[in-house]
A and B are shown apart, each in its own frame.
Chain A
Amino acid sequence: MDRRSFVEKTLLGAGLVMGAPSLISASPAKRKSGRLTILHTNDTHSNIDPFPENHAKYPGLGGVARRYDLIQKIRSEEEHVLLLDSGDMFQGTPYFNRFGGELEMKVMSAMKYDMGTIGNHDFDGTMEGFVKAARYADFPFVCSNYEFTNTPMEESTRPYQIIERAGMKIGIFGLGVELAGLVPKKLYRETVYLDPVEMTQEVVGILRKKGVDMIICLSHLGYSYQSDKISDLRLAELTEGIDLILGGHTHTFLEKATPVQNKAGKITLVNQAGWAGIRLGRLDFDLEKKMFHASEGILVR
């Protein structure tokens, strides 16, 4: 498949409106490679337990046990599932303060996350703390724009990773938010923050040469800002080649993924799934029609 054109093909079904996919509601039977289901979280912030039932805003929502159940259910119905996280797994409950993030890593591994990226709060337990916790992670972390040379996290991330799923080669890379002014210098130390737009074009170029069919960016830049600070929406506009940006940082609840016209005039989809594990983001990619045909936020309850 010509990767460059798959989103374009996605959009060529002019006037076609697909019928409602049954998704997880109808048949528990595993379907035949009809689609790739992309599940994602961001800013789970050490929310191991659900919010209490008397919580003002999110009563009874979230919790890793329910998220695990939900993911298991979807896995029992879908053949091809990709599970990704966009950073800030750490900080927010005493589970992190006391156990340094190892439980977060263990539960994500049990859920069989395929990949994650680094959020600003993932530095909160020091870089050594991240490395220690990440020993319990069975999945890799991607980050293209933090140069970790000469820091304890030098070996903790890779710029990108190619995953084969549903007969497709999927290139996944990560982008972190600017650290200066946000994270104390003593936590990120000698980490060099590189320009997300430049790094995107570089990585997209590499991934294309490697013949990937789809490019996904795990971003912790934030959905959008009033200022011209780089965000997922701006990144989508200023670059070409990304099919899907799964974002974080701004704790944005989107009712649907946002299509953005990228630099090449194609569509880059941007999605984010709130925070705290309240929602599990889901996007289904139709393997035959080569189109994303559904996106939703599932409340984990």
Chain B
Amino acid sequence: MSARIYLIYLFIGAGLTACSFDIYQRGTPSYVDIRERTSTGNRIDTLVAPYQGELAEEMSRVIGKAEVDFVKQRPWGNLGNLVADAMLEHGRTLVSNNSIPVVCVLNHGGLRASLTKGEITVGDVFKLLPFDNELVLVQLPEEATKELFEWLKAGGGHPISGLKISGKEMKLSSGESLEQGVWVVTSDYLMNGGDHADFFQKGTNRISSNKMMRDVFLEYVEHVKVLKDNQDQRIVW
């Protein structure tokens, strides 16, 4: 294995008074190639190998199949629809009071990779959802849903489920209004103000799932086995 070390020599040496920081003399940068590892079969390789093997095995485990490519798009896309639907499905099981509608709002930036048509592995899901964000629920009163709408608009669209935006209006996907407020399934990242989702601060109630979104999605894929295309146009400005 070849290695290259990039060196920059810097020297403290010139005189210094209290207000002068001109103490570095920059040497000529030089490159030193290390053509081979200085110790082959080192202790680290031996240490890492079993973990690497176990991880490779786990990451390559096939958990389902994608019928099409799922891509990240704005204002909506089939990947955002898929992930938001999966989160909503799990979130619904955590709400005991069914009198208030449950919806899901995620952030576009939280989805880190596309899913390619074909077999889906655990590793693919780790690439899609690398952050250890927890799935949470926040109850929002109607006026906060207006801010949510503005946030979705300002961000150019984010993954949603259970909601539909057409033009200047946001409604439940059933077509009903949001006047009684909603339970929003989301990430603890957004709930805590990440991506400037400040409206979550107006939440009147919160539920933690104590479960990472990645684990929710892994279980979802394992459960449904086949991921079908979902071209539901949830956001049309």
Contact = CB atoms under 8 A, between A and B. Distances in A.
Given A16-B13, A91-B132, A65 B48 contact: yes
B51 A99 contact: yes
A68 B43 contact: yes
Contact of A296 (B9, B58, B126): B9
B9 A69 contact: no
Contacts of B55: 94-95, 98-99
Interface string A88-105: 000100110111000100
A199 interface: no
Nearest to A68: B44
A293 B13 contact: yes
B178 to A, nearest CB: 29
Given A68-B43, A72-B38, A103-B48, A259 B10 contact: no
A21 B8 contact: no
A16 B25 CA distance: 10
Given A65-B42, A70-B3, A267-B16, A296 B10 contact: yes
A3 interface: no
B16 A11 contact: yes
Interface string A260-276: 11000101000000000
Interface in A10-24: 10-18, 20-21, 23-24
A124 B132 contact: yes
A17 B10 contact: no
A66 B12 contact: no
Given A94-B59, A106-B47, A68 B42 contact: yes
Contacts of B28: 20
Contact of B11 (A18, A103, A260): A18
B108 to A, nearest CB: 19
B14 A14 contact: yes
A94 B126 contact: yes
A17 B5 contact: no
A119 interface: no
A215 to B, nearest CB: 17
B51 A293 contact: no
B154 interface: no
Nearest to B14: A15
A256 B5 CA distance: 16
B175 interface: no
A145 B134 CA distance: 28
Given A18-B13, A48-B51, A293-B11, 15 more contacts: A10-B12, A11-B23, A13-B13, A17-B13, A23-B9, A48-B52, A66-B1, A69-B39, A70-B3, A94-B123, A255-B8, A261-B19, A267-B21, A298-B7, A299-B6
Interface of A: 10-18, 20-21, 23-25, 48-49, 64-66, 68-70, 72-73, 76, 91, 94-95, 97-99, 103, 106-107, 110-111, 124, 181, 184, 255-257, 259-261, 265, 267, 291-301
21 contacts: A11-B15, A11-B23, A14-B16, A17-B14, A20-B9, A48-B48, A48-B52, A65-B48, A70-B34, A72-B42, A73-B38, A94-B58, A97-B132, A103-B47, A107-B44, A107-B48, A110-B43, A110-B44, A184-B192, A259-B21, A294-B10
